[in-house]
Structure 1
């Protein structure tokens, strides 16, 4: 994709989210999103393979960023490594924060989108597991740490989205504290 593709991609995502919020996910077509964004339907499909993916467009950046953050994190304990890696993802999360809550509402209202979100989360968990194994964590422990880590990450994200003044790192620390209490 050309360098100037990112603004078009972002405009398609913003437009889709606005239309989904206003009319409901099922009522909006890819052609309508493209027209409202001022591009052709063909352009839409150059950026997204299907209508669902317009809501999950940032995901392809997140897994490689998580793998790199895990590789670069200090320490040897898998959960500490994951926590440090999740903190390193904050710039990615901040970039998408204005869309996070409305996107969550659209996803929550549609079972097929909830399923897709779980699939994306599982892919992120797999990326974390593989990155921990690459660092030398035994596979069974890496898989368990990734499961627990994704639960922490998911809880921190949910709390962070609900409070506009919240700091992601603070929410992650809170989730860790809750885990220790449990």
Structure 2
């Protein structure tokens, strides 16, 4: 197998999702993921500490992108407008591979308690990055946390709709729509 073939990280993510879907998370080994991706086990471990972390590949990037989008929002943007701009930044980074993996990743996560736990931690990390970015803009703590949670919910909902859709619409459309729906729903809470 070629030693320095480009795209190894992406191939490992696809291989892991496929194997988790085909045979289950517990039955899948790092060796199988590496073999299917056309890399060595040592290459796998250069990219990921374990097989569980394959499904959260890019989490740091997502957190950075949403934080940057919020930081770059106009000074007069409301907290949810800033979150929307952060979600736009994240959405712009999502490509066709992310869209194609969505339903398979969702199935793999649903079938494994360990992966559901890791997915929950990923959401917590994204919410923390979002609220930290809002607080850095001067948004009060409680408001920042509520806006961050709405942003994470909007991202998850938008991503699911985008991944399941056959329409040629970008992810930002779905995340904006989800955030608007959540904003309206929260107004109805009283």
Q: TM-score under structure 1 normalisation?
A: 0.89
Task: List runs of 5+ in structure 1 lacking aligned partners.
Answer: none
Q: Give the structure 1 partner of residue 73 of structure 2.
A: 73
Trace 1:63-102 onto structure 2 (pairs within 5 A): 63-74=63-74, 75-95=76-96, 96-102=98-104
RMSD: 1.8
For 2:25, what is the secondary structure of its paired residue? coil
Summarize deviations over 1:58-90 as a string: whole Å, max 9, x none: 212111111111111223310111012111221
Aligned equivalent of 1:169, options 154, 169, 172: 172
Pair 1:28 & 2:24 matched: no
Could you say if the C-alpha distance between residues 105 and 65 of structure 1 is closer, same or farther in structure 2, counting changes exceeding 3 Å?
same
Summarize deviations over 1:157-176 as a string: whole Å, max 9, x none: 22222213154233233323
Trace 1:1-182 onto structure 2 (pairs within 5 A): 7-74=7-74, 75-95=76-96, 96-165=98-167, 166-179=169-182, 180-181=184-185, 182=188
**Deviating runs (4+, > 6 A) in structure 1?**
none
Partner Cα distance (2:160, 2:42) in 1: 34
Deviation (angstroms), 1:177: 3.8
Task: List runs of 5+ in structure 2 lacking aligned partners.
Answer: none
Deviation (angstroms), 1:22: 1.6
Partner Cα distance (1:177, 1:91) in 2: 19
Deviation (angstroms), 1:5: 7.8
For 1:27, what is the secondary structure of its paired residue? coil
For 1:89, what is the secondary structure of its paired residue? helix
Q: TM-score under structure 2 normalisation?
A: 0.86
Contact 2:21 2:104 in 1 (8 A): yes
For 2:7, what is the secondary structure of its paired residue? helix
Partner Cα distance (1:120, 1:55) in 2: 10
Partner Cα distance (1:6, 1:85) in 2: 29
